[in-house]
Chain A
Amino acid sequence: MVAVWGGAVVAVINARKKGVAATTVRKISGLLTAASCSVLAADLQADSVSEATASGSDSAVNMTTATLKNKPNLGADEGLSSKADENSNWRVKTAVLSYSEEGRIQVNQALLKVTRESDSGSLQFKVDTDTVTGPSMSAAVSSSEVQTFSNPSGSLETVTAAGELPEWVIESHRRSSVSVNKEDILNSDYSINYGARYSYELSYKSKSITAGISRNFDRKNTQLSFSTLFEDAEVLPIGGVVKPGEKTIIRADYTDEADFKTAWNNLRTGDSERKRAYELVTGITQVINRDAIVQFNYSYGQVNGYQNDAIKLVSIIDANGNPEANVYENRPDHRERQSVYVHGKYSLAKNQVLDLSYRYYWDDWSINSHTVAAGWQFELGSNWTLEPQVRWYKQSSADFFQQSIFADGAVAVIPDYMSADYRLAATNNYTLGVNLDYKFDSGKALSMRLALYEINPEDDSSSKRGRLNGIDLTPTIRSTVFMMSYDF
Chain B
Amino acid sequence: MGKFVRQVCLLTCITALTGCASSGFSLGVKPWQKGTLSKDSMQIKHSQLQAEFDSHIYFAREASSGGGMGGGGCGCN
Once A49-B35, A57-B32, A221-B29 are accepted as A-B contacts, the answer to whether A297 and B61 lie under 8 Å apart by CB is: no
Q: Taking the complex as formed, is B27 at the interface, i.e. its CB lies under 8 A from any CB of chain A?
A: yes
| Binary contact track B41-64/A, C-beta < 8 Å → 1, others 0 | 111111111100100011001111
Count of chain A residues with Cβ under 8 Å from any Cβ of B? Answer: 114
Interface residues on B, range: 35 or more
Complex CA distance for A423 and B74, rounded to whole angstroms: 15
Given A218-B28, A290-B29, A455-B61: A105 and B77 interface contact (C-beta under 8 Å): yes
> A435-488: which have CB < 8 Å to B?
435, 447, 449, 453, 455, 477, 481, 483, 485
- B77 CB to closest chain A CB (Å) equals 4
A-B CB pair tally, cutoff 8 Å = 237
Are B42 and A293 in contact, with the CB atoms below 8 A?
yes
Contacting B33 at CB < 8 Å: which of A217, A290, A365?
Answer: A290
Residue A127, interface by CB 8 Å: no
B69 within 8 A of A: yes
**Which of A9-17, A314-322, A341-349 binds B?**
A341-349
Known: A197-B73, A231-B73, A284-B18. A46 touches B49 (CB 8 A): no
Task: Kindly provide the distance from the CB of A227 to the nearest chain B CB, expressed in whole angstroms.
Answer: 10
Q: Who on chain A is nearest to B30 by CB?
A: A57
**B40 to A41, Cβ gap below 8 A?**
yes
Tell me the smallest distance from the CB of B10 to a CB of chain A, in Å: 6
A285 to B44, Cβ gap below 8 A? yes
Contact in complex: B38, A362 (CB < 8 Å): no
Q: Mark B19-41, 1 if CB is under 8 A from A, else 0.
A: 01110100111111111111111
Q: Does A125 touch B at the CB level, under 8 Å?
A: no
Q: Is the CB of B67 within 8 A of A48?
A: no
Does A369 contact B41, Cβ atoms closer than 8 Å? no
Please tell me which stretch of A31-39, A76-84, A252-260, A404-412 contacts chain B, meaning at least 4 of its Cβ atoms lie within 8 angstroms of it: A31-39
Is the CB of A111 closer than 8 A to any CB of chain B?
yes
A1-50 contacts to B (CB < 8 Å): 32-33, 35-41, 43-49
Contact B41 A379 (CB under 8 A): yes
A483 touches B50 (CB 8 A): yes
Q: Contacts A359-B69, A371-B64 given; indicate if A45 touches B50 (C-beta within 8 A).
A: no
**Which one of B14, B45, B74 has the greatest number of beta carbons of chain A within 10 Å?**
B74
Q: How far is the CB of A219 from chain B (nearest CB, A)?
A: 6
CB under 8 Å from chain B, chain A span 383-406? 385, 393, 395, 398
Q: Which residues of A in the span 181-238 have a Cβ within 8 Å of any Cβ on B?
A: 197, 199, 201, 203-204, 206, 208, 217-222, 229, 231, 233, 235
Taking a contact as CB atoms under 8 Å apart, the answer to whether A423 and B62 are in contact is yes
Interface pair A36/B45, CB less than 8 Å apart = yes
Residues of B within 8 A of A233 (CB): 75
Q: Are B28 and A221 in contact, with the CB atoms below 8 A? A: yes
- Known A221-B27, A298-B14, A340-B10: A48·B42 in contact at CB below 8 Å: no
Among A57, A311, A447, A453, the residue within 8 A (CB) of B57 is A453
With a CB–CB cut-off of 8 A, which chain A residues contact B6? Answer: 340, 360, 362
- Nearest 7 A/B pairs, CB to CB: A45-B35, A204-B75, A52-B32, A221-B28, A339-B67, A38-B43, A59-B31
Q: List 8 A-B contacts (CB under 8 A).
A: A197-B73, A218-B22, A284-B14, A290-B34, A361-B67, A362-B3, A367-B64, A447-B50
